[in-house]
Amino acid sequence: MERRDVLRLTAGGLVGLAAVDGAKPAIAAAGQEKPGQENSLQEKSLQEQSAQEKSEADKPDLSLMMFPGNYTWSAAIRMVIASELWGGADLGEIYKVVAALKPDVGNNAAWFEQWSAMARKVTALGDAAQAKGHAQTAAGAYLRAAVYYQVGERLLQPRTEQSQKAFATAVELFKKGMGQVAALSIEAVEVPFEGGKSLPAYFVRSRDAGNAPLPTVVFFDGLDITKELQYFHGVPELARRGLAILIVDIPGTGESIRFRGMPARYDTNVVGTAVVDYLETRADVDKERIGIMGISLGGYYAPRAAAFEPRFKACVSWGAIWDYYAIWKRRVDRAFQGSLSVPGEHIMWVLGVSSLDEALEKLRDWRLAGVAERVKCPYLVTHGERDAQVPLEDAKALFNAIGGADKTMKVFTVEEGGFEHCQGDNITLGITTIADWFSDKLDARRRA
């Protein structure tokens, strides 16, 4: 991302770019100017704008770039580091992989091999602990290994038989480890879907809630994340607040795209209705208190679902998406020279097409204009001030279009942290803000 693009994402940058782009500066007058003062006022305004622009440019870059110059790899490392908070990684293991990768920056095959090697090593630790009867130690190792396998696999394009096997092993390891997670029940479930198919999911709740019907949040993944990785994006924080969570591999993500032949689709309202239908069959779900959230591209999926499914009582976009076609048109036009979380070719695989032209054509309907207006339930969008993937202007457009009166927009600044895409630089700020908001809107402190 060019510096002028970064400046566009800040209030100071917007002022500075008015001068850079040749726009006439706006002059806020306290009263009527006397004749002859206009030029001096304009000059003073331009000087102030120049000083503000310089101040923005001089700010230190606080992004955690473990691989300087490679946004994709650095963003992935931030994600793995954040997962440590909930048992998905260990900093020492991460560091060893990073060190091993330093000579091969940008080589996604090497990325896959090094993460897979660490996953195998940690799996062996789990097996050894299991053989000695140390179930908790084994479970922790299996969960970390699952993350490492999936982090390695997600950047590999094209997918291979080896990468498919690594992903399947990750799911198996997650399921081996999830039964020993302290205080939480994690249940693998299937959500009935179209044509006799089903969507794989995890239903998560606090063990001490017993069988009480809980307010429940549906959690949709994005372009390049999975239900296993999503769990380590703070699902335990939601459960700590008395919420149950259904994490779903919707079409285009996780097992649904890799093993069930279900490419991504724009009409995620169909998925939204399917998951609510499923939740209403469960006695441990309060059917009047169901919310939905989505991360990254899920920031499009979730409001799309809420717009057409009135049984959702609250909705969160963890990172805004307004016009996904426009985002990818820019990326393609720039030959993927920008800030991407995965290789550009990933979009073709996810959509089930064989060319970028086909991908762009299929993305034409992935817009929330005319849809966001139908969202009437309480709504929250969180966005980073310097989100390098999706401009802040898109978040503002989405927020302004939401049809309900109860809506909140939280922009995380550089000063407070959480300024990266989906608060990748401070996941804690992002998920606790969302968890507290859901707790309030779904009245999680009230027992049914």
**SS3 sequence of 364-433:** HHCECCCCHHHCCCCEEEEEECCCCCCCHHHHHHHHHHCCCCCEEEEEECCCCCCCCHHHCCCHHHHHHH
- Cα separation, 229 vs 80, in Å, equals 9
Confidence check: pLDDT of 57 > 80: no
Tokens of 137: 């130690």
Tell me what the mean pLDDT of segment 372-383 comes to.
98
Q: Give me the amino acid identity at 44.
A: K
The single residue listed with the structure tokens 């440019």 is 57
The single-letter DSSP state of residue 33 is P
pLDDT digits (tens, 9 = 90+) for 80-95: 999 999 999 999 999 9
pLDDT > 60? residue 26: no
Helix (H) or strand (E) holding 174: helix 161-177
Q: How large is the average pLDDT for residues 210-217?
A: 94
Give the residue from 414, 427, 429 showing the smallest Cα distance to 13.
414
Confidence of residue 5 (pLDDT cuts 50, 70, 90): very low
- Decide: residue 232, CB within 10 A, 0-12 exposed, 13-18 middle, 19+ buried: buried
- What is the pLDDT at residue 210? 85
- pTM reported for the whole predicted model: 0.86
| The pLDDT of residue 1 | 35
CB burial string 309-335: b at 16+ within 10 A, e below: bebbbbbbbbbbbbbbbebbeebeeee
- Per-residue pLDDT for 33 more than 50? no
% of the chain residues with pLDDT over 70: 86
Single-letter residue type at 321: I
**What is the average pLDDT score of the chain?**
89
Alpha carbons 75 and 71: distance in angstroms, whole number: 6
Backbone φ, ψ for residue 267 (5° rounding)? -90, 65
Let me know the angle formed at the C-alpha of 78 by 82 and 431, rounded to the nearest 5 degrees: 40
CA distance linking residue 386 with residue 391, whole number of Å: 8
Q: Is the pLDDT of residue 2 over 80?
A: no
332-371 pLDDT, tens digit each: 999 999 899 999 999 999 999 999 999 999 999 999 999 9
HSE, side-chain direction, 13 A CA sphere, residue 26: 5
Q: Return the residue matching tokens 């993305």.
A: 363
Checking 159-164 for CB contacts under 8 A at 24+ apart, the result is 159/258, 159/349, 163/112, 164/258, 164/259
CA atoms within 13 A on the CB side of 66: 23
Which residue spans within 45-197 are E strands per DSSP? 184-192
**Residue type present at position 275:** V
Q: Using DSSP, how many helices (H) and how many strands (E) does the chain show?
A: 18, 8
Cα torsion 303, 215, 284, 181 to 10°: value is: 90
The mean pLDDT value for 298-317 works out to: 98
Contact 383, 433 (CB under 8 A): no
Ordered DSSP codes for 136-158: HHHHHHHHHHHHHHHHHHTT-SS
Reported as a single tens digit per residue, the pLDDT across 61-71 is 678 889 999 99
Measured distance CA(168)–CA(165) in Å, rounded = 5
Average pLDDT, integer, range 281-309: 98
Cβ distance 174 to 146 under 8 Å? Answer: yes
Half-sphere exposure of 215 (CA within 13 A, CB side): 24
Residue scoring higher pLDDT (205 or 3): 205
Are 27 and 42 spatial neighbours (Cβ–Cβ below 8 Å)?
yes
The type of residue at 236 is P
Q: Per mean pLDDT, which range of 7-11, 238-242, 277-281 is the poorest?
A: 7-11
**Residue 57 contacts by C-beta under 8 Å, 6 or more apart in sequence?**
3, 7
Rounded to an integer, what distance in angstroms lies between the CA atom of residue 309 and that of residue 206?
27
Quote the CA–CA distance of 427 and 295 in Å, as a whole number: 12
Q: How far apart are the first and last CA of the chain?
A: 49
Q: Could you identify the residue written with the tokens 């100017």?
A: 33
Q: What is the mean pLDDT of residues 432-439?
A: 98
Position 60 scores a pLDDT of: 64
